[in-house]
């Protein structure tokens, strides 16, 4: 939906309780775009088509090293997200309210750097 961001509240480590964009790992034999579509569906119950790459980020801490690829997605029709799998909550957040949430580390900076937020 224009002017909003689809977000999930993390239910599993790392950063339990913080808000993030839906996503997860690429399974063996799966394409990156297929993983995006599957993960969004699993975490929000919304079917999407993977769109263009928005940008990438790297996160490292003791015990993990993630390379995160963030894609725009296309919804065939606007739906109401329902939290599933490793999401405690899923919702549409107006862009002006995104920074009012407790976000995962680096997300605000990423969204500003890539022109999603001002």
Instruction: Enumerate domains of the chain plus CATH numbers.
Output: 4-113 (3.90.79.10)
Profile the chain (118 residues) by mean pLDDT over runs of 10 residues. Answer: 90 92 94 96 95 93 89 88 92 96 96 94
Residues 43, 51: Cα–Cα separation, whole Å: 18
Count of CB atoms situated within 10 Å of the CB of 74: 10
Report which of 91, 114, 107, 83 is spatially closest to residue 15, judged by C-alpha positions. Answer: 107
pLDDT at site 114: 95
- Give the largest Cα separation in the chain, rounded: 40
Q: What are the DSSP E strand ranges found in 1-118?
A: 4-10, 19-20, 48-61, 64-75, 87-94
> For the whole model, what pTM was predicted?
0.90
pLDDT at site 77: 78
């Amino acid at each position: 939906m224009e002017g909003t961001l689809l977000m999930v509240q993390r239910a599993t480590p790392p950063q339990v309780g913080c808000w993030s964009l839906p996503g997860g790992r690429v399974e063996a034999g799966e394409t990156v775009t297929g993983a995006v579509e599957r993960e969004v569906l699993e975490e929000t119950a919304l079917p999407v088509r993977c769109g263009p790459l928005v940008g990438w980020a790297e996160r490292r801490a003791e015990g993990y090293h993630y390379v995160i690829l963030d894609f725009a997605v296309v919804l065939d029709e606007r739906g109401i997200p329902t939290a599933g799998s490793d999401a405690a909550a899923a919702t549409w957040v107006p862009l002006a309210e995104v920074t009012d949430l407790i976000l995962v580390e680096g997300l605000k900076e990423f969204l500003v750097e890539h022109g999603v937020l001002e």
